[in-house]
């Protein structure tokens, strides 16, 4: 029995299923799945017991890295004494997401596209880049909120530039005051907040 088959036969956790469910919802937001297909796959996902069964749910969707299929990225020590994943590299699962009367969260291990569009209409978005990789050394995230909100968590080793506009709303930049040394990867955040808000916050490196 080879290693890949061994891996597929391992039992998946609830956290694994929740993470794949996020990817399915994003695929639906991108138009890759209809709402009916999304419901069917969510049902199949939560009935799955092994990594191999999870794979069957998403095997025709591009860019989804299943838990257990890929080893964790190596971690590189920082001068601050903490550690973070290698920041640059990887293949993103999608380049845009739109939520209406709902919400989206991206946390844990994921790849931020070089250009990423986020729209929240009567909904919310949370982007946590703490354990994320960036597709390129510099990425642009455009966020549009209409009667909604978004929060972006920037890790300590990433330089951030915030340049958004508010219309009866606003962008709250709580991250730019503390920047890493020159040469760090860069995340640029722009967009509009209409009757809503966008908050950009800095997360410390966990030792």
- The string of pLDDT tens digits covering residues 45-73 is 889 888 888 888 888 887 676 765 544 44
- The string of pLDDT tens digits covering residues 129-180 is 999 999 999 999 999 999 999 999 999 999 999 998 888 888 899 999 889 9
Rg (CA), the chain: 18
pTM over 0.75: no
Share of the chain above pLDDT 70, in %: 85
Alpha carbon dihedral 39, 43, 45, 48, in 10-degree steps, equals: -160
Instruction: Say whether 131 sits in a helix, a strand or coil.
Output: coil
Instruction: Say whether 91 sits in a helix, a strand or coil.
Output: coil
Q: Which residue did the predictor score with more confidence, 153 or 10?
A: 153
CA–CA dist 122, 36 (Å, integer): 22
Q: Where are the alpha helices (DSSP H) in 48-141?
A: 51-58
Q: Which residue did the predictor score with more confidence, 10 or 83?
A: 10
> What integer pLDDT is reported at residue 15 of this predicted model?
79
Nearest Cα to Cα of residue 167 among 143, 194, 142: 194
For the chain, which residues make up each domain, given as ranges? 2-58, 96-202
- In this structure, what token pair is assigned to residue 144? 């549009």
Contact partners, residue 112, CB within 8 Å, separation at least 6: 92, 127, 129, 132, 133, 134, 135, 139, 141, 187
Only one residue has tokens 């964790």, namely: 72
């Amino acid at each position: 029995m080879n290693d890949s088959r061994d891996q597929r036969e391992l039992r998946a956790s609830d956290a694994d299923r929740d993470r794949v469910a996020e990817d399915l919802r994003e695929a639906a937001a991108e138009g890759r799945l209809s709402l009916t297909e999304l419901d069917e796959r969510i049902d199949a996902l939560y009935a799955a017991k092994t990594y191999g069964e999870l794979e069957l749910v998403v095997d025709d969707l591009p860019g989804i890295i299943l838990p257990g299929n890929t080893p964790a990225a190596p971690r590189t020590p920082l001068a601050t004494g903490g550690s973070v994943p290698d920041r640059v590299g990887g293949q993103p699962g999608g380049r845009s997401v739109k939520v209406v009367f709902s919400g989206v969260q991206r946390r844990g291990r994921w790849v931020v596209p070089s250009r990423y569009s986020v729209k929240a209409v009567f909904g919310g978005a949370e982007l946590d880049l703490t354990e994320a990789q960036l597709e390129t050394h510099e990425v642009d995230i455009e966020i549009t909120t209409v009667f909604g909100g978004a929060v972006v968590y920037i890790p300590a080793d990433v330089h951030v530039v915030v340049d958004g506009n508010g219309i009866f709303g606003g962008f709250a930049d709580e991250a730019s005051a503390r920047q890493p040394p020159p040469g760090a990867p860069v995340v640029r955040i722009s967009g509009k907040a209409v009757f809503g808000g966008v908050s950009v916050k800095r997360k410390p490196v966990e030792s």
